[in-house]
Chains A and B, each alone.
Chain A
Amino acid sequence: MGPRTPSRLVAMYGLLTILAILFIFPMVFMVAGAFKPDSLVLAEGNTIRAFWPTDANLDNFVGAFRRGRFGQLFVNSAIISTSVVALGLVVNSLMGYALARLPFRGAKLLLLAVIALTIIPLEAVAIPLLWMMSQVGLRNTYIVQILPFIANPLFVYLFYTFFLGIPRDLEEAARVDGAGPVTTFLRVSAPLAKPAYATVGILSFLFIWGQLLWPVLVTSGPDVRPLPLGISVFVTQPPISWGQIMAFAFMMTIPLLVLFIVFQRWFVQSVASSGVKG
Chain B
Amino acid sequence: MSTTDAQPAPVETAGPDTGRRPQTSSRRRRLAGVAFTLPGVLLLLLFLAGPFLMALGLSFTSERLASPLPTRFIGFDNYVATFTSSSFRKALGNNVWFTAIVVPVQTSLALGLAILVNQRLRGVRIYRAIYFSPVVVVMTVAATVWLLMYSPDRGLLNGILSLISFGTLQSDWLQSETMALPSIMIMSIWQGVGFQMIIILAGLQEISGDLYEAAAIDGATPWQRFVFITVPQLRNTLIFVGTVTMILSFRLFDQVWVMTRGAPLGNTNTMMLEMVNIGFEQQQIARGSAIAVIFFLIVLTLTLIQRRFLKEEVN
A206 to chain B: which residues have CB within 8 Å?
135-136, 138
Give the contacting residue for A213; candidates B50, B156, B162, B272; CB below 8 A: B272
Q: Does B303 contact A (CB under 8 A)?
A: yes
On whether A26 and B280 interact (CB within 8 A), knowing A128-B51, A128-B54, A130-B285, the answer reads: no
Interface string of A95-111 (1 = CB under 8 A from B): 10111001111010010
Q: Give the distance in Å from the alpha carbon of A257 to the alpha carbon of B4 in the complex.
A: 47
Residues of A223-275 at the interface with B, using a CB-CB cut-off of 8 Å, are: 227-229, 231-232, 235, 242, 245-246, 249, 252-253, 256-257, 259-260, 264, 267-268, 271-275
* Contact between chains at A213 and B141 (CB < 8 Å): no
The chain A residue with its CB closest to the CB of B288 is A127
On whether A105 and B30 interact (CB within 8 A), knowing A29-B145, A132-B51, the answer reads: yes
* Contact between chains at B39 and A275 (CB < 8 Å): no
Residues of A146-183 at the interface with B, using a CB-CB cut-off of 8 Å, are: 147-151, 153, 156, 168-169, 172, 175-176, 180-182
A216 to chain B: which residues have CB within 8 Å?
257, 276, 280
Shortest distance between the CB of B59 and any CB in chain A (Å):
9
A29 to chain B: which residues have CB within 8 Å?
145, 149, 156
B275 to chain A: which residues have CB within 8 Å?
123, 126-127
A272 to chain B: which residues have CB within 8 Å?
198-199, 201-202
Q: Does A75 contact B (CB under 8 A)?
A: no
Give the contacting residue for A210; candidates B28, B138, B198, B295; CB below 8 A: B138
Interface string of B223-240 (1 = CB under 8 A from A): 000000000000011011
On whether A20 and B30 interact (CB within 8 A), knowing A46-B158, A128-B292, A242-B148, the answer reads: no
* Residues of B within 8 A of A (CB-CB), count: 106
B257 to chain A: which residues have CB within 8 Å?
212, 216, 232
Shortest distance between the CB of A166 and any CB in chain B (Å):
12
* Contact between chains at A235 and B147 (CB < 8 Å): yes
On whether A124 and B295 interact (CB within 8 A), knowing A50-B159, A110-B41, the answer reads: yes
Interface string of B253-267 (1 = CB under 8 A from A): 110011000000000
Most chain A C-beta atoms within 10 Å of own C-beta, residue among B37, B195, B247, B303: B37
- Identify the stretch in B82-90, B98-106, B123-131, B173-181 within 8 Å (CB) of chain A at 4 or more residues: B123-131
A221 to chain B: which residues have CB within 8 Å?
none
Shortest distance between the CB of A42 and any CB in chain B (Å):
5
Q: Give the distance in Å from the alpha carbon of A9 to the alpha carbon of B122 in the complex.
A: 10
Give the contacting residue for A121; candidates B66, B247, B285; CB below 8 A: B247
The chain A residue with its CB closest to the CB of B1 is A168
Interface string of A44-66 (1 = CB under 8 A from B): 01110010000000000000000
* Contact between chains at A94 and B159 (CB < 8 Å): no
Q: Chain B's interface: helix, strand, loop or mixed, by majority?
A: helix
* Contact between chains at B40 and A94 (CB < 8 Å): yes
* Contact between chains at A228 and B136 (CB < 8 Å): no
Q: Does B65 contact A (CB under 8 A)?
A: yes
The chain B residue with its CB closest to the CB of A234 is B144
On whether A153 and B44 interact (CB within 8 A), knowing A26-B146, A26-B149, A216-B276, the answer reads: yes
Interface string of B111-147 (1 = CB under 8 A from A): 0010011010100100111111111111111101111
A123 to chain B: which residues have CB within 8 Å?
251, 253, 272, 275, 292, 295
**Chain B: residues with CB nearer than 8 A to chain A?**
3-4, 7, 11, 25-26, 28-34, 36-37, 39-41, 43-44, 47-52, 54-55, 58, 63, 65-66, 113, 116-117, 119, 121, 124, 127-142, 144-149, 151, 153-156, 158-159, 162, 190, 194-195, 198-199, 201-203, 222, 236-237, 239-241, 247, 251, 253-254, 257-258, 272, 275-276, 279-280, 285, 288-289, 291-293, 295-296, 299-300, 303, 306, 310
